[in-house]
């Protein structure tokens, strides 16, 4: 219905203006008075702030893309397989080799994706890698290098609340849309698609709506400082609470996805009791359910949870810190290890029967 409304309103307005024009002409013919348009008053130069924003948009706009996720559906009656759009979102060009960054949730329900550049050319995209735990994905298109304009990369560690920011994306399918605002807060935490928290998230009041997901959040110098990923809204639309994955996270995840197709996560070699069950036991930490034989945790003597001969459960080690960083859940254990590499040795502090024990554990690499 909205499409008809958008077409109908201009027709109505033109008809109304046409009627007014005919009435004015008839009046002029009767009275002999000709009414001319008023002279246009020249405007002053754009302010320095306006020039800065318009210049930034002209520079960064060509780097922002429109992403369509496409799913396969089978016609119930004819049994024909059809391709239908399953969602749309935003993204941006990472490098001149055709890599495009977006949110994982933009493409997760599709069988394939298409990327529309700012020049309105469409390109089929292949998925290079995904990181559901960071809500990031990398696509690749075979567009000519001359049409690829990578964004300049900034940093997020030194951001300040109150800084001006700009978001470019495709809200509700309207491409190349610019909104402005400020950084409202730093250090927020949101849940990822994998249930692992994403930390140090940027909160902004720049208008972010459905369709902005995967688009860039820029600083006043036009550098990428975040990837717009979520909003908090009772209505599903803009309510002044938008969140962006910080560029410092993006800048180490994306090279991993391009090189390996995934984040190479180091592991201790254990299975964990669910966080929900651990909390029900009144515990805070990552409770070890099982230890894999031959793993770093096994060689360090980490203890699993088991049932004794009397049928009673004996709780295993409760991981409470890694190299001094507190661990309050299984998700936080993953965060504490994500910047490590397989082969490194870390100090894992466990609560064992009410006393704290430090274990030196060599990290292994998670299987794909």
Which of 213, 275, 295, 317 is the catalytic position?
213
Active site residue 213: yes
Q: Which fold has domain 64-147?
A: Thrombin, subunit H (2.40.10)
* Residue-range domain boundaries for the chain: 64-147, 152-260, 266-365
Confidence of residue 151 (pLDDT cuts 50, 70, 90): very high
pLDDT digits (tens, 9 = 90+) for 8-65: 333 333 344 445 455 555 555 566 678 888 999 998 899 999 999 999 999 999 999 9
What top-level class would CATH report for the domain 152-260?
A: mainly beta
Confidence of residue 104 (pLDDT cuts 50, 70, 90): very high
Query: Do β-strands 325-326 and 345-352 pair in parallel, antiparallel, or remain unpaired?
Result: unpaired
Query: Do β-strands 136-140 and 122-131 pair in parallel, antiparallel, or remain unpaired?
Result: antiparallel
Q: Which fold has domain 266-365?
A: Pdz3 Domain (2.30.42)
Active site residue 105: yes
Mean pLDDT of the chain: 86
- The structure tokens listed for 310 are 């009397």
Q: What's the pLDDT at 6?
A: 32
- CA pair distance 253, 192, nearest whole angstrom: 14
pLDDT digits (tens, 9 = 90+) for 242-277: 999 999 999 989 999 999 998 888 899 999 998 888
* Contact of 64 with 118, CB cutoff 8 Å: yes
Q: What's the pLDDT at 27?
A: 55
- CA pair distance 158, 167, nearest whole angstrom: 19
Common-topology check for domains 152-260 and 266-365:
no
Higher pLDDT, 26 or 141: 141
- The structure tokens listed for 92 are 């941006």
Which of 90, 135, 317, 351 is the catalytic position?
135
Q: What's the pLDDT at 72?
A: 52
Of 182-186, 237-241, 258-262, where does mean pLDDT reach its minimum?
237-241
What is the pTM (predicted TM-score) of this model? 0.73
Which of 105, 175, 219, 329 is the catalytic position?
105
Residue with tokens 């400082």: 225
- Three-state secondary structure along the chain? CHHHHHHHHHHHHHHHHHHHHHHHHHHHHHHCCCCCCCCCCCCCCCCHHHHHHHHHHHHHHHHEEEEEEEEEEECCCCCCEEEEEEEEEEEEECCCCCEEEECHHHHCCCCEEEEECCCCCEEEEEEEEEEHHHCEEEEECCCCHHHCCCCEECCCCCCCCCCEEEEEECHHHCCCEEEEEEEEEEEEEEECCCCCEEEEEEEECCCCCCCCCCCEEEECCCEEEEEEEEECCCCCCCCCCEEEEEHHHHHHHHHHHHHHCCCCCEECCEEECCHHHHHHCCCCCEEEEEECCCCHHHHCCCCCCEECCCCCEECCCEEEEECCEECCCHHHHHHHHCCCCCCCEEEEEEEECCEEEEEEEECEECCC
Confidence of residue 90 (pLDDT cuts 50, 70, 90): very high
- CA pair distance 176, 323, nearest whole angstrom: 45
Q: What's the pLDDT at 43?
A: 87
Whether residue 4 is predicted with pLDDT greater than 60 in this model: the reply is: no
Closest CA to 253 of 153, 130, 70, 368: 130
> What is the percentage of the chain residues whose pLDDT exceeds 90?
62
């Amino acid at each position: 219905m909205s499409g008809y409304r958008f077409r109908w309103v201009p027709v109505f307005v033109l008809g109304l203006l046409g009627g007014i024009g005919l009435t004015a002409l008839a009046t002029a013919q009767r009275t002999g008075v000709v009414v001319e348009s008023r002279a246009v008053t020249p405007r002053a130069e754009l302010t320095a702030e306006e020039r800065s924003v318009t210049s930034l948009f002209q520079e960064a706009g060509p780097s922002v893309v429109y992403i369509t996720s496409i799913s396969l559906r089978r016609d119930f009656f004819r049994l024909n397989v059809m391709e239908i759009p399953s969602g749309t979102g935003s993204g941006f060009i990472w490098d001149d080799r055709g890599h495009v960054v977006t949110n994982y949730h933009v493409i997760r329900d599709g069988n394939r994706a298409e990327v529309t550049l700012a020049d309105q050319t469409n390109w089929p995209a292949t998925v290079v890698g995904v990181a559901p735990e960071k809500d990031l994905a990398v696509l690749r298109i075979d567009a000519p290098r001359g049409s690829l304009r990578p964004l300049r990369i900034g940093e997020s560690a030194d951001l300040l609340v109150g800084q001006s920011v700009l978001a470019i994306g495709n809200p509700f399918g309207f491409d190349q849309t610019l909104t402005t605002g400020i950084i409202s807060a730093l250090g927020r935490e949101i849940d990822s698609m994998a249930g692992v928290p994403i930390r140090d998230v940027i909160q902004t009041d720049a208008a972010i709506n459905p369709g902005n997901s995967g688009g860039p959040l820029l600083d006043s110098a036009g550098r990428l400082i975040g990837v717009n990923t979520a909003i908090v809204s009772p209505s599903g639309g803009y309510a002044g609470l938008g969140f962006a994955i910080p560029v410092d996270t993006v800048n180490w995840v994306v090279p991993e996805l391009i090189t390996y197709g995934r984040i190479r996560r180091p592991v201790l070699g254990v299975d964990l009791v669910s966080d929900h069950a651990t909390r029900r036991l009144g515990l805070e930490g990552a409770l070890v359910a099982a230890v894999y034989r031959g793993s770093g945790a096994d060689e360090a003597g980490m203890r699993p949870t088991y049932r004794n001969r009397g049928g009673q459960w004996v709780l295993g080690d409760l991981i409470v810190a890694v190299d001094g960083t507190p661990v309050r859940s299984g998700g936080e254990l993953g965060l504490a290890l994500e910047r490590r590499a397989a082969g490194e040795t870390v100090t894992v502090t466990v609560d064992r029967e009410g006393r704290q024990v430090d274990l030196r554990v060599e990290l292994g690499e998670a299987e794909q």
